[in-house]
Structure 1
Amino acid sequence: MTNFKKVGCVLIISFFYCLAVFSQGLGFQSNDSPIGERTSYTVFGNNLPTFTNTLAISFDLYLANKKGLGYIFRLNDSHSAKTYSLKSFIKDNQPSELYFNIESEANKIKVNRHPDRSARGQWMHINLLFDMVADSAVLMIDSEVYKTGGLGLDKQIEPKIVFGKDGPHTEVPDMIIKNLKIGNKEKSYFFPLSQSNGTLVRDSLKKTAGQVDNPVWMLTKSYYWEKRFNYSLQKPGGCSFNPQLNCFLIFTNDSIIYYYPDKEQVDKQLAVVPIENSLILGENFYNTKTRETYSYELWNDSSVQKPNISAFDYNTRSWHPVGKAQCESALNHHALFQTEDGELYIYGGYGNYLYSNKIFHYNQSRDQWEAVTLRGNPLPHRYYSASNQTPINDKIYFFGGIGNTTGEQIIGGKQFYDCYEMDINTFTVKKLWENKEKTDFVPANNLIFSKDGTHFYTACYNHYNPQSAITLNYYDVSNGSRIQVGDSIPLYSDRIETNINLYYSSKSNQFFIVSHVFKDKDESNITIYSINNTPIPASLLTESEDYQETEVIRVTPIQITLIGLGALFIAGILFLVKKYKVKIIKKSHRTSPVAEKENTIKAESEEPSGKKKNCVLLFGTFDAFDEKGNNIAHLFSPQIRMVCIQILVASFSKEKGFSSYQLTSMLWPEEEAHKIKNRKGVLISALRKVMQMFKGIELEYANNLYSFKWEEPFYCDYIDFMSNKDNPDHDFLPIIERGNFLTSLHIPEFDQIKAETDSIILEKLENEIEQALVKEDFILLIRCASLILKVDPFNESALKWLLQGYMKTNHQKEAVTAYDSFCSNYLKNFGTAYTKRLNDILKQ
C-alpha cells in the first residue's frame, strides 16, 4: 500500500470515529414549521414489545433555546390506558423547564434547568426508569436525579412511544435526539439514529423498527451547507465574527447589523458613533484580547489624515479610532493572524505590481506597522495565503497562495499548495510540505485547527473563475494529505476584491463560511453559510448506513415466533382497516382544513407516491424499495445515485439518453479518458447490480447512450410526473406533496433539471388554484398554495391564497402561523423585515 493510500485510510478511519461521536442524531422540525411538516417519530411502529417489572428509556437530547411548549416524547401504555409525557417549556429570557406528566391528570416532576446550561442549548443525557412493581419512576438528567410515585402502573407495560408530534398533540420543541435505548434486563433495543436519509428507522442491527415523518437527519447537516443569512451593502463595509457573543457584525461607516445564527435574530441600527476611517475593502478581525472588532486599511492615498484602524465596542455600539498607521502598500489579499495575547500580524499580499513575502507586526503603542526579521526557510512572495496559530503551541502556519520567488508580477505567478510553520517567539520559519493539485484553488483568509493541532480546515475556491464553488478541505499538518468534507457552495464573482472567510463557533459547534462578493467598488453582497461539526466527506454520507453498533437486541426465540405470528395477524387487520379508511376518507367531507390537509393527503397519497415496493422516489427524500418492500436507498452511493438520476432524467430528453462522454465529464472532468475507463466500467456495473433488485426496469446502452427502459410493476414518481405532465386529469398533488424534486440532493449538476421541474410544478399548481377559486374549494386552495411556497418560498400570491384559504375555513390561528413563518424566512434571507401586514394581504 502506498503512503498516500495509507494516509487516506487513516483520515477515513478518523472520520468514522467523528461520525460516531458527533454527527449522528435525529432533528425535529418544530413549532416554527407548519403542523403538517413537524417531525413525528414512532419508535416501535405497530409492533409494540411488552416489558415486565421495569422499563428504562435513555437518550441524548439537544434542546435549542427557543421559547415555547413542546412534547419531547409521549408514552401510551395499552395495559393501563394511561399516557406519560416528557415536555419542555421555555419562556422569554428564562431557563428551560422540563415536565414529566401523567397526561391530562398531573405533573409529577418539574425540572428547572440551570441558566448556563439552557442559555444557548446544550446536550443532556436523559434516563427515565419505570419501576412497575413499586409504581414509581426515576428521572435522571445528567447527574441530577428526580423521583416520583403514584403513576398507576401495571406490572407489565406495552409502550407506544412517540417523540415529537403525536396525533392532535402537535407542539414540538426544537430538539435533536440520538443514542436511544429502551429495555430492561430481559430485552433491550438500541437506536443510534445515525442514518442520513429515509423515513424508516433502523435499530443497531440495521433492522427496520420504527417510522419517522418529516425527519431531519443530522448527519446531512454535517455534509450540506445551510444558507443562513444574506445581506446587500450599497456602500463599502465588512463582516466580522464575534465568537464570544456567537454573532456576526455587518458594518458600513455608519450602520451596524447583528446577526445571531443560534437565535435567527437580526438587529439593525445606526452606530452610536460612526467609523472615521475610510472603508475600502472592509478588512477586519475580532480582537480576542480587547473583545472588539477592528476595521483596518493598510493603505489610504487620501490627502486627508484619517484613522486607518478603528475598533468597535460591542457594549456602547460605537467606533473609536485606534491609529493612523499605513503599511508600505495596500497588500491586497494578505494573510492576517493574531496571537493569543492579541498581537496583530500580516503576511504577504499584493500591491504596486509586487508580491510581498514580509511579515508586519502592528505596534499599537507606536502606531506603526513594523517588519519582522525572519530566520530559517525563506517565506515565498505571494498573496491569497491562509494562516492561523495552532491551539497547542506558539506555532503559526501559512498555507497556499499565488506568487513567485522574486515577487515581481511581471514574470508571472503560480499557485502554491504548501505549508510553512513559524515559531512566534523566534520567528524561525520551517517548510513542512508541498502538494501538487490537478485543479486550481486558493484558500480562504484563515485556517481552523483541530483541538489537538494535528489537522486544519480551510475553505478553498477558484479565484479567477466567475462561476466557481467553495469547498472545505481537511488537511493533515504532518504530511499535507487532504480530503474534501461537506458539499460545495456555488460562488459567482468576477472581481478580485471578493473574499472568503472561514469561522468556527465552539458555542454552537458549527463552521461558518462568509462570502463577501463585490459587484463594484461600492456595492457588495455578504452571505453566511453553516455546517455542523464534524463535517464529513461524501463517501461517509452513504457509508454511515453500513456502520455497525456493538450493542445487540436481545429477543428470545419464542418471542420472535410470537411476534412473527402476531405481526402477520396485525398486518392483515391493518390492511383491511386501511383499505376501508381510504374509501371513507375519499367519500367524506371534513370541516377542518388542517385535518383535511393531513389525513386526506395521507390517504390519497398511498398511491402512487406512497408506494413502498419496487420503486424509486425522487420527490422529497431520495428513497428506493425493492420488490419485497425493503428500503435499499443506502445501496445507492453518491456516484451511483447521481448517475442513476441523470440517466432517468435524460430518458425524457430529446436525445433519449445520457452519453458516455457526459458521464465521464460529470464525474471525472480533469482525468484523461483512458485513465478512467476501468472506473467507469466498475460504476456502471455497480449501477446495473443495484437496478437488478427492481422488477420492470433495465439499463440499456446503445448508440453511445445510457438509458432506462421500464414497465409495470416498476414505479418512479418522476417518471409518473413527466409522463402525465400534459394530462389535465392526472392527480399529481400526491407526488409533489412528498417534497420538492431532489430536495435532499444539493449537487450543482442537478440545478438545471430542478429548475425546469419546479417550473412545470408551479404552472400546474397555479392552474389548480384557478380551479379551486372558481369552485370555492378552500381545502384544495390550502394544499396548492402550501406546495407553491415550498418551491418558491417568497411567492406573495401563494401567501395570499394560503391565508385566504385558512380564513375562509375559520382557521385564523393557522393563518397567523403561516404569515409569521413567511415573515421569519423573509427576514432571514433578505436581512429586512417583510412590510406587508396580514390584514392588508387579505384585502388584496
Structure 2
Amino acid sequence: MKGVWRLIEEFRTTLHYMLFRIGPILLILCNMAGARAQGIGFNGGHKPIDERTSIELFPEYQATFKHQLDIKFELGLTSANPTIGYILRIKNKQRATILNLHYDEENENAILRLNEEGKASIITLVMKKETLHNQRWFPVHIHLDMDQGKASLSANNMESLSSAAGLPKEYNPSIIFGKSDHLIDVPPVAIRNLWIGNTNESYFFPFREHAGTRVHEQHGVVMGNVSNPIWLINDSYHWKQTFEKASLTNAGSDYSAARNEVYYFNAEGMTIFNIKSGETKSVKFASSCPIRIVLGNSFVDEGAGKLYVYETFYDPPYSGPTLASLDLNTLVWTAESNDRVGLELHHHSSFFNNRDSSFTVFGGFGAMRYSNEFYTYSLLEHSWRTAKIKGDHIVPRYFSSAGQPMGDRDIVYLFGGMGNEAGKHIIGRKYFYDLYKLDLDKGEIRKKWEAPGEPIDFVPARGIVIPDSINMYVLGYPEHLTNSFIKLYRYDLTRGEHTILGDSIPIFSDRISTRAKLYYDHAQKKLVTLVQESPDDVRSTLKVFVLDFPPISEASLNALHKQSTTRAKLLDALLAFLLCTALILLIRKAQKPRPRDILPDSLPVEAPIQATGHKPNSVQLFGDFTVINRAGKDISHLFSLRLRQVFCLLLSKTGENGVSSQLLNYTLWPDKEKEKAKTLRGVTINHLRKVLSELSGVEIVFSKGHFRLVIGDECYCDYLECMRLVDELPEMRNQNEYLSILSRGKFLLGTDDIVFDKLKEETESKVIPMLLEDLRQSAKFNRPHKTIQIANCIFQFDPINEQTLSYCIKAKIQIKQEVKAHELYYRFSTDYQNVMAEKFAISFQDLLKKQYTSSD
C-alpha cells in the first residue's frame, strides 16, 4: 500500500511543478489575450478631504525591483475646470526618499512635474491643455534607473526628459495614487492600464473592479487597497442621466457628435447641452421657426453645421414651409422648402447621405396604414421624391431603425419594426427582428437575416450604431406598455445573434410623439440616448443618458475573473495538457521497482460540491439572479430592477398571506400619491405576471387586498428549497444539497437596493447558524475537506467570521495546504481591516490554538 501512496505523492509533486512552474507562463498569455482594462476615477479637490480618492499598491506584498523600475499608465482629465494636485507618490519601504508626480494648469498649458519630495522639482513637462482635454486618455511613463541614479518622465508621446535623482540601489515600493498622508490635493483625473515593473518582475492593473476597496492585478490577486474610488467599469454598464428639460409646446431634439451638443428646441427657442463639458445654455430665437412644429422630426448636417427640422404631413388648411434649417453658429432660421411627402409617417426611420446632400425616410404609420416606401429629400433641389429601390421585398412597417457603418457611408442597415404584409393596420401587426442592407450606390436592398421573436416583443428606437464590421447596437423597448424600459442590444451583423448590454432606461410610451434615439460619439467613446416623452402630444420632456463604449453585460460587470470563451477553452486545454503530462511521468516512474511498505491511515476525501446548475423552469436567487423558462431559455434580462423588487417581496411572503397593496405602495413608491402609486403598482404587477407566464406552476394571486406568489412543485426555486432544508433537523438535512445551492454565490449577488436588505438579512440569519453548526460538526468528526467546503460558503455571507477562519486554516493544515492556509489568513486580515478600520488582532498561531463552542 505504501507504493500506491508514494505514487500518489509523486503525481501530486509532478502536477504541482507543472501547474506552478509551467502553468503560470501559459496562464499569463491567456490573461493578456482576454484582459480589457476599464479604469478608476479620482474624487478630487471638489470633495471633502475624507472623501478624496487614495490608491495604495503593495501595502503588504514585498515587491522588489533592482536596476530599473518603470511605471506606465494612461491618464484622463475628467473635468473641464482648472485642475491641480498630486497624481502619485513613489515611496521606498527601506528609505525615506519619496518621489511624487504633480499636475497643474497655467493659462493654456498643462504641467506635469516629477518631484523629489521636500527638495526640488527634477523634471517638468509642459503640454497644451486643450490637446489633453480633447483626448480621452494619454500615456504617462516614469522610468527610474537605479544604476545610473537618473529619473525620466514622458507624457502624451513627447520625448522623455531625464534628470539626476537620489535613487536607492533597489526599490521595495509602496506606490500611492491620489491622497497620501499630508498630501491632500487630488486632481479629478482617471487612470487605467497601469503597468509597474522591469524586465524581471512586473504587475499589470486593469482596474476592472466595479465595487469594493481592493485592487487586483490582472490574475485576480489582491495587490492594493483603495478608498473612495470611482470604478469606471460602471460607466460601461449603468446608463447615466446627464440632462433633463421640459417644453410646454411641441418640440424636437437631436445631437451633434462633432460638437458634443444636444439640441432641444421648440418654435421660440432652444436649450443646448454639451455632454463633454456639462454646460447648458438656453437661447431665444431672433425669429420663430418658419415651420409649424408638430412632431419636430429633425436631422443634423455636421459638415454644414445645420440642424434641419421637417414635417411630412399637415392637416389642411396649412400651406406654409414644411422644412427649415437652423444655422448652429448664428442660430438663424431659414425656410428651405414648402414641398411635402403628404403622408403621416409616424415613427419612420431615416438617414442622411452627406455625399449627395440628401435625406431619406423609410416606413412609418398614418391613416391606418403602414408604409414600405423610401422618400428622399434633396437639400440642393429643396424637394421630396420617391426613391426607387430594387432587390428584396420589405414588409410595410413602422418603428424600424436605420444606421450607417462608420467606415462605409454608402451602406445603410434597416432593422426591425412592426407591421404586416398588407400594410393595413386593421388586420393586426407583427413584430419584426430582421436586418436589411441597402447599397446606396446600387439602389439595391438585400435581406441579411431574420432573428426569432422575443418573449416580450419590442420595437427598436431610432438610430443604429455600427462601429465596426462585426456588431451593431440598437435600443429596444415594448412600446405597448405605458411604463417600460429601454434596453441596449448588440446584434451580430452576420448571424443575427444578440446580447443585452448595460442596465435599462425607463420610458413613458403612451403617446405617439414619444421617441428615443441612439447616437455614438466616437471621439468621446460614448453612446448617447435621447428620450423625449410626451403626456399629450404637445408638452414634452427630454432626458439625456450616456454610456461608455464599449458597453458590457451584467455578467461582465459582476464577474471580475470571468474571461472570454476563448480563454476558457485555452485554460481547459492547458489543464488537460498538464494532467496528461503529469500522468505520463507518473506511469514511467511506476514502472520502476519500489520497496514495499505500509500505507498510513488516510483522511476521508469529500467529492467537490458542484454549484446548482441552470434547470428549465427554475428561479435561482443565490449568485446571479437567474430565471430559466420552461423551454430552457434564460429570461433573466426580462426582470428589471423593479420587477425583481416586487418578485422578491412576494417570494419572501410565500408561506404567509402575501403582501398587502399598502405595503407594496409604501415600499416601492413611498414618494408617490395614492392614485399614482396604485397605477404604477398595477402596471408593474401586470408586467411581472406576463414575464412569469414563461414559467409553469408560477402565478400571482390577489385576494383580500393581498398579492401572493404561488410556486408549484414543477417550478424549482433555490431560495424555497434552501429554506426547506434550513427547517429540517440537522441529522435529516441533505448537506450536499444546500451546499450546492449556496456554492452559486451570495444571496441576491450584486443587488444592493435597499428593498432587498430585509430579505437578505432574514435569509442570512437563517443560513449562517445552520452553516456554523455543520462546520463545528464537520471539524469534530475529522472531515477537513467538508470543513473547507462549508467555510467557503460561510465566507460568502460573512467574510470576516473569525470562527470560520480558525476552522478553515486548521483543516487546510490538516490536508497539507499550509501555504493556502497562510494566504487565507492574509486575505482575511486585509478584509477585516477594510471593514472594521482596525487590524485583525489574533495571530495565525493563536487561531490554531483557539477552541469554540456552539455558544460562540
Correspondence for 1:168 among 182, 185, 188: 182
CA contact (8 A) 1:401 1:415 kept: yes
Deviations 1:599-627 (A, max 9, x none): xxxxxxxxxxxxxxxxxxxxxxxxxxxxx
Correspondence for 2:165 among 151, 154, 163: 151
Deviations 1:578-598 (A, max 9, x none): xxxxxxxxxxxxxxxxxxxxx
Deviation at 1:499, TM superposition (A): 0.4
Correspondence for 1:72 among 87, 98, 104: 87
Deviation at 1:418, TM superposition (A): 1.3
What is the aligned partner in structure 2 of residue 466 from structure 1?
482
Distance 1:517 1:317 in 2: 25
Deviations 1:489-545 (A, max 9, x none): 122232121001001101210101111000223211100111111111222223333
Change (3 A) 1:22 1:298: farther
Deviation at 1:45, TM superposition (A): 2.2
Change (3 A) 1:96 1:305: farther
What is the aligned partner in structure 2 of residue 224 from structure 1?
238
Deviation at 1:19, TM superposition (A): 11
Correspondence for 1:408 among 406, 421, 424: 424
What is the aligned partner in structure 1 of residue 353 from structure 2?
339
Compare CA radii of gyration and give the structure with the larger one. 2
Identity %: 25
Aligned residue runs from structure 1 range 370-449, under 5 A = 370-393=385-408, 394-437=410-453, 438-449=455-466
Deviation at 1:248, TM superposition (A): 0.9
Distance 1:479 1:652 in 2: 42
Aligned residue runs from structure 1 range 275-424, under 5 A = 275-301=289-315, 303-341=317-355, 342-393=357-408, 394-424=410-440
The AA in structure 1 aligned to 2:459 is V
Change (3 A) 1:83 1:475: same
The AA in structure 1 aligned to 2:72 is S
* Aligned pairs, number: 607
Correspondence for 1:637 among 624, 629, 634: 624
Deviates more, 1:670-679 or 1:111-120: 670-679
CA contact (8 A) 1:272 1:316 kept: no
What is the aligned partner in structure 2 of residue 537 from structure 1?
553
What is the aligned partner in structure 1 of residue 516 from structure 2?
500
Change (3 A) 1:17 1:389: farther
Deviation at 1:285, TM superposition (A): 0.9
Distance 1:540 1:293 in 2: 38
* 1:669 partnered with 2:656: no
Correspondence for 1:451 among 468, 476, 488: 468
What is the aligned partner in structure 1 of residue 702 from structure 2?
none
Deviations 1:114-136 (A, max 9, x none): 45631324322222111223221
CA contact (8 A) 1:459 1:473 kept: yes
Query: Structure 2: which 5+ runs fail to align?
Result: 1-29, 569-620, 628-635, 660-684, 699-711, 723-736, 749-759, 771-856
Deviation at 1:678, TM superposition (A): 9.0
SS at match of 2:50: helix
Deviates more, 1:202-211 or 1:705-714: 705-714
Distance 1:424 1:644 in 2: 45
What is the aligned partner in structure 2 of residue 781 from structure 1?
none
CA contact (8 A) 1:284 1:295 kept: yes
The AA in structure 1 aligned to 2:530 is V
What is the aligned partner in structure 2 of residue 194 from structure 1?
208
Distance 1:657 1:146 in 2: 72
Distance 2:246 2:146 in 1: 61
The AA in structure 2 aligned to 1:483 is T
Correspondence for 2:118 among 94, 104, 112: 104
What is the aligned partner in structure 1 of residue 151 from structure 2?
137
Deviations 1:176-199 (A, max 9, x none): 222222223443222222223221
Distance 2:40 2:207 in 1: 6
CA contact (8 A) 2:624 2:745 kept: no
Correspondence for 2:261 among 247, 263, 266: 247
CA contact (8 A) 2:203 2:217 kept: yes
CA contact (8 A) 2:314 2:342 kept: no
Deviation at 1:486, TM superposition (A): 0.9
Change (3 A) 1:139 1:60: same
The AA in structure 1 aligned to 2:66 is T
Deviation at 1:657, TM superposition (A): 11
CA contact (8 A) 2:512 2:537 kept: no
SS at match of 1:81: strand
Change (3 A) 1:370 1:26: same
SS at match of 1:710: helix
Change (3 A) 1:693 1:472: closer
TM-score, length basis structure 2? 0.65
Correspondence for 1:708 among 763, 766, 772: 763
What is the aligned partner in structure 1 of residue 537 from structure 2?
521
The alignment yields a C-alpha RMSD, in angstroms, of 3.9
The AA in structure 2 aligned to 1:449 is I
SS at match of 1:96: strand
The AA in structure 2 aligned to 1:403 is G
Distance 1:402 1:305 in 2: 32
The AA in structure 2 aligned to 1:136 is K
SS at match of 1:118: helix
CA contact (8 A) 2:79 2:189 kept: no
Change (3 A) 1:351 1:547: closer
* 1:125 partnered with 2:180: no
Distance 1:52 1:108 in 2: 22
* 1:265 partnered with 2:268: no
